[in-house]
Amino acid sequence: MSAVDLVRREESVKAKRGQRMKATDAFVECLLAEGVEVIFGYPGGAVLPIYDSLYEGKIRHILVRHEQGAAHMADGYARVTGKPGVCLATSGPGATNLVTGLASAWMDSIPVVAFTGNVARSAIGTDAFQEADITGITLPITKHNFLVRNAQDLPRIIKEAFHIASTGRPGPVLVDLPKDVSVEEIIFDYPETVDLPGYKPTIKGHIKQILEAARAIAAAKRPVLYIGGGVISSGAHEEVLALAEKANIPTTFTLMGIGGFPGDHPLSLGMLGMHGTVYANYAVHEADLLIAVGARFDDRVTGDLKRFAPHAKVIHIDIDPAEIGKNRHADIPIVGDCKAVLSVLVEKVREKREDEWLAKIAEWKREYPLTYEEKPGVISPQRVIQEIYEVTEGNAICTADVGQHQMWLAQYYIFREPRRHLSSGGLGAMGYGFPAAIGAAVGRPDLPVWSITGDGGFQMTSQELATVRKYNIPVKIAIINNSYLGMVRQWQELLYNRRYSASDLHDNPDFVKLAEAYGIPGMRVSRPEELRPALEQAAATEGPVLLDIHVDPEANVFPMIPAGMSVAEMIGKKGRLGT
């Protein structure tokens, strides 16, 4: 929002202060005051008063085809803009359909504000028609939630909801609005500030801890920077780069941290963890100092915690004190915002270069590059990602669904900037990728947006084809179609003696015809020579396009560290690698 728009917004709020209006009209004014430009939602009886107030068109409303899509779209919008995404659903099943999207946003610390309708206050707890205790249901998967019992409290609650969602460690917040509350009249008074005595996130890190971290970096012979999604949410990517370059520290990132460090930088190790690069995992295994920034040592990164980074002293920087020491002991804990802490740490760290360590990593990179097999006449899925990278010149926003293609995107598309890679990391929600791409395209219409999805995950939210057609949202959909639940099949191949139980999708629909039924151009790509022309045609086409790309059905994601194992059990395409 520009400075001019900000001034106009403040003037509008001041002009309306003290006016009597319907609670739902106040709802709209509150959202305008927060700079909300778009809502992703689906109407129903309990929210009809809100939709009546939205009819004036002061805020753009995107009509989704399933409430799960609304939550994922709000998530995608938030990830690319850095502003809270907003979604709206009716009571009962409408509200419960948001749960998967809210859980995904919760796991990945994404600022989403969800509004739900509820039955009248007098009917709450009576098992009324379309009643669900959505505040109770979402208590474990929201940063906070509210049940509005007094209409006059609505402006304050909305102000607090946006503040909580977007400050400290970001996360989803839900506001539940009973129908009888929404039709009451109130005196409009939108607060200018928020006063939450029990909620005071620590921003600045303790200087003594920062100085100790600087000394540890100076003493380390084999340091590794390990960054997560907190780097992106705090906007600390420039500080991470400055620290890495000043002290010549090899840098690896989690799935959520992709884009927090340039993927083509000489110090980049790529992603670590279960399907991370061999050299990233080897570097962490051999490190004597691990500098964790905005990361939470999740199991897909660490595998067997007892054998993760066994030689390393740990510096852990995170705004959420609950994360520090939760999974891995921190020798030097620093609670604070990543950007604020790193800006000081960069000043305190001295320039250094450990040539022997850098040479060892360069040797691992030469010996264990990311590679894949290409069969004659068959499209390799990894090639699809590389071709999309080349066609978009690495300048697209790419969303992933969940499974093999998610890992191939992380491995083979080189992200140089933050907020360009979107993936349901913690929850691993199938159906995330396509609606998240819609939200991203709405939030950043200046950038091309590609939804990289699988034939399994796409079918969970494919009805949002109607949404992209209705609003002509120019998402390019690339279905990596291997006629399997690919990652399930891979695990069944490697760990269950090829017993492919319930993972075969050879009865998939004709995705091209499905797209055409929605009025969207579709192309089927079956041969390697068809791939590049189809991608180029899709990129040059205005509006949405669907590509059904048939790939090698038995292609696997390597490297792979089986769940709960360590680097010692890492598998390459030719078998166990070890350390």
- Residues classed as catalytic: 67, 129-130, 179, 487
527 CB-contact burial (10 Å; exposed 0-12 / middle 13-18 / buried 19+): exposed
Q: In what order do the strands lie in the sheet with 112-118?
A: 60-63, 38-41, 85-89, 112-118, 173-178, 144-147
Query: How long is the chain?
Result: 579
Amino acid at 342: L
The alpha helices in 223-288, defined as continuous H runs, are 229-233, 237-247, 278-286
User: Cβ of 396: how many Cβ atoms within 10 Å?
Assistant: 22
Amino acid at 198: G
Q: Which two three-digit tokens encode residue 380?
A: 């390799």
- Residue 547's SS3 state is strand
Helix (H) or strand (E) run with residue 20 in it = strand 20-22
Which residue in the block uniquely carries the two structure tokens 């005051």? Answer: 33
Amino acid at 12: S
137 Cβ neighbours under 8 A, 6+ residues apart: 95, 96, 99
Task: Give the integer Cα–Cα distance in Å for 401 and 456.
Answer: 9
3-state secondary structure 108-120: HCCCEEEEEEECC
In degrees and rounded to multiples of 5, residue 338 shows phi and psi of -55, -45
Task: Give the integer Cα–Cα distance in Å for 402 and 458.
Answer: 10
DSSP 438: H
In degrees and rounded to multiples of 5, residue 369 shows phi and psi of -75, 160
Nearest to 343 by CA among 243, 410, 415: 243
User: Cβ of 354: how many Cβ atoms within 10 Å?
Assistant: 18
Q: Which two three-digit tokens encode residue 99?
A: 């749960």
Helix, strand and coil content of the chain, in percent to the nearest 5, comes to 40, 15, 40
Nearest to 466 by CA among 546, 539, 536: 546
